[in-house]
């Protein structure tokens, strides 16, 4: 029996594909939320669709200093994109892809909105309302934190 060669993607390509998927899902879901959501709608238990807009960063931090927030977010995103090129394979590539996609999704939303805000619409109990990009950033950070705890390198050394 002949073995087929295993296709191995570069970690930076994996991270880029994950980031593109997050951006696409985020942009689609935000457009849906802005078009379809009016009054809050209970989905299941503590999960609600609740349309809101955020002028700050995560959890509305920096909403009173929007210019400083935008500059800080842009600088952080540049660092993440640079890190994307040096990511290690496996979980780190997925984690940095999620963080990059989430960051880009929110930056795109902020830049394309006439009021420079981010659309949030997922509400879980008393947790602040969030979106797909926020979930990507959070999950990606958790994945990278787990790598650090188990001493798995996040970046390639060569």
Long-range contacts of 26-32 (CB under 8 A, 24+ apart): 26/101, 26/102, 26/105, 26/106, 26/109, 26/131, 26/132, 26/133, 26/136, 27/105, 27/108, 27/109, 29/121, 29/131, 29/132, 30/105, 30/109, 30/119, 30/121, 30/131, 30/132
What's the confidence (pLDDT) of residue 72? 76
Confidence tier at 107 by pLDDT (50, 70, 90): confident
pTM: 0.83
Please say if the pLDDT value at position 98 is more than 90: yes
Confidence tier at 29 by pLDDT (50, 70, 90): very high
Please say if the pLDDT value at position 8 is more than 90: no
User: Model confidence over 37-79: pLDDT tens digits?
Assistant: 988 888 899 998 999 998 766 655 655 666 676 677 778 778 7
- What positions carry a catalytic annotation? 120, 134
């Amino acid at each position: 029996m002949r073995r087929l060669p295993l296709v191995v993607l570069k970690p930076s390509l994996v991270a880029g594909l994950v980031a593109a998927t997050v951006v696409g899902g985020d942009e689609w879901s935000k457009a849906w939320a802005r078009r379809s959501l009016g009054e809050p709608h209970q989905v299941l238990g503590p999960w609600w669709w609740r349309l809101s807009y955020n002028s700050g960063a995560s959890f509305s931090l920096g909403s009173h200093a929007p210019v400083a927030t935008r500059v800080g977010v842009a600088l952080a995103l540049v660092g993440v994109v640079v890190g994307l090129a040096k990511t290690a394979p496996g979980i780190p590539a997925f984690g940095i892809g999620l963080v990059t996609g989430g960051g880009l999704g929110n930056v795109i939303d902020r830049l394309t909105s006439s009021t420079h805000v981010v659309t949030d619409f997922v509400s879980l109990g008393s947790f602040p309302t969030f979106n797909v990009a926020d979930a990507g950033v959070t999950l990606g950070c958790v994945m990278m934190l787990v790598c650090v705890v188990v001493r798995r390198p996040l970046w390639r050394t060569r």
